[in-house]
Amino acid sequence: MKYSLIFTLMVVCLTNCHQTHSTSKTSSVLSAYKDSLKDFGLVALIDNGEFLDTASIGFAFEGHALTTKNRFCIGSCTKMFTAVTVLKLQEKGLLNITDRIYRYLPAHPFIDSTISIQQLLNHTSGLTDILKNGFQNEPILNPQGNFSDPIIYSKIDTVDFEKGSRYKYCNTNYFLLAKIIERVTDKSWEMNIQELIIEPLQLKNTFPYHANTIANLAHPMINGQDLHTIPKLANSRLSQGSGNIVSDLLDLNKFIRALLIDKTLLSKNSLELMTNFYEYKTTKSGLGLFKDTYGKRVLLGHTGLQISYITYAYADPKTGESIVVMNNNANDVIIDQVFEKLCKSK
């Protein structure tokens, strides 16, 4: 589905919404790149609890400037939502993260039934990734294809390592967590996300699925192609639990702050479990989030990469600051530079 688009040259819109400080760091950082974004856009936010600094540059799609009100698929930042849901279900007594998964999942030749829920959460299960060998692109190449649970289970066709012996990032873990959530609640993963996170936090621009019908959705752009017309239902099914939530800048910030700064989303015990990091080489993997170092700062959160979006959602519990950056082009390298600059001390 390759085709080219001709974009009309226009002045890039640079906004600074909800700013109460005399100097906007986000506007200052983003303005350096405003002439580099020809067919996609980028939004950024810094929130220290006292003032909210936001900015946007570029395009939501051809001829339409991106704003902080646009929505994006947040990719693997979805995993934080799934992990929170699992921990809230533990608080309700419906499961325990030390449980072995044979209690909740069907037998499978390449799934060790004694893997624990916790090992799924922190990517130490040893399972192979369902999104390998190009299968992650199939929903775009073949959006009418079969992406049912049996097909997805069939992609678990080998074992990468003995459970608990090491870490390896794996989307299979969160597909299985979604199935466990559905098993213990007798409700869809989407309903659980809606009831346990979206509604309590009053997230008005967050959706537990990826669909073209969502208003204000920034179009996924890649290599100058607008992929918005491609149906997203198949992609949403394939990435259920691991990468299919749609949100906007302010909602995602509200979530990350409730979780890691205000600490109102989970109980104290659950948050301690979530932030108990398994260390393997340079990776520190918690339950659905990571501890990463940017310069002199230690941040907690997650990144997301989806067709075709990139998201950074992090919090600094030490300073009480949160930083969120989102774009609509998975081939963009500018977003990495922007995030690193926003992480630097004032």
What is the per-residue pLDDT across 330-345, written as a single tens digit (0 to 9) for each?
Answer: 999 999 999 999 998 6
Residue 81 has pLDDT above 50, yes or no: yes
Residue 1 has pLDDT above 60, yes or no: no
At 159, give phi and psi (nearest 5°). -120, 130
Reduced to 3 states (helix: H, G, I; strand: E, B; else coil), residue 58 is: strand
Give pTM, 2 decimals. 0.93
Q: What is the reported pLDDT for 127?
A: 98
Quick one: pLDDT band at residue 12, thresholds 50, 70, 90?
Answer: very low
First to last CA, the chain: 45
CB 184 within 8 A of CB 101: no
What is the per-residue pLDDT across 274-321, written as a single tens digit (0 to 9) for each?
Answer: 999 999 999 999 999 999 999 889 999 999 999 899 999 999 999 999
What is the per-residue pLDDT across 170-217, written as a single tens digit (0 to 9) for each?
Answer: 999 999 999 999 999 999 999 999 999 999 999 999 999 999 999 999
List, in order of start, the domains of the chain with CATH numbers: 25-75+206-225+245-343 (3.40.710.10), 77-190 (3.40.710.10)
| Most distant CA pair in the chain, distance | 61
Going from the C-alpha of 138 to that of each of 134, 188, 195, 223, the distances in angstroms are: 7, 23, 30, 18
